[in-house]
Amino acid sequence: MKILYEDKYMLAVLKEAGIPIQSDKSQDRSLLSAVNEYTSGSCHIITRLDRPVGGISLFAKDKETAARLSEMIRENKADKIYTAILCGKPLCGGHIEDYIFKNERTNTSKIVNKGSVGAKLASLSYDITKSGKEHTLVRIYLETGRHHQIRVQFAHMGYPLYGDTKYNEKYKHKRGIFPALFASEMKLVHPITGDTVHIKAENDPVRDLFEKLEGGAV
């Protein structure tokens, strides 16, 4: 477990793709279990990542810090930045706003009309970092935290994520691959000290994968 940031109030660690952030029916060792063992405490999950997605995961070490951080996340007062590889080549970056419905039975989400029962607003912005022959590397600024949001919104646009076995038809039913999505940066004001905290992963596996796929094409 790689520690990216730690003080007496909170902890940010690097989650590897394929590891559950908390215990699930697989009974595989979770990141939360590893964090609690490391701190000898009972930490609180602040930012959740889908099991197949890697990147920065933030935890609070006490209830007060957890409450303040959770409120910041709900009010979009923390910058959450992701790297992803899209299949296809959008012409430019921009802002995406949709309404998402989560199907609890299938553990999938879909875009629905505004006003649909159970629909929640989902918004994000993105920039194009590099374009290749078949894929595009993008930097995503997540504004809401809906279930499978990034994967669903880009698939709906016609640019599903590389390796996404749920929302990209090319990779459905394939095993041993993960969506090319990585939580690469987080910026926030510390809920206790008021200091600006910038957490960044040193290595970005999605960026590295793009270079392998496209040979550094621009």
Q: Tell me the pLDDT tens digit for each residue of 146-192.
A: 999 999 999 999 999 999 999 999 998 888 889 999 999 999 999 99
Q: How many CB atoms lie within 10 A of CB 109?
A: 21
At 30, give phi and psi (nearest 5°).
-95, 160
Question: CA 57, CA 51: separation in Å to the nearest integer?
Answer: 12
Domains in the chain with CATH codes: 2-214 (3.30.2350.10)
In terms of Cα–Cα distance, which of 204, 115, 116, 124 is closest to 156? 124
Give SS3 for 74.
helix
What residue has token string 């669903």? 152
Side-chain half-sphere CA neighbours of 204 within 13 A: 19
Of the pLDDT bands very low, low, confident and very high (cuts 50, 70, 90), residue 216 is low
pLDDT (average), residues 47-67 = 94
**pTM: predicted TM-score of the whole model, two decimal places:** 0.91
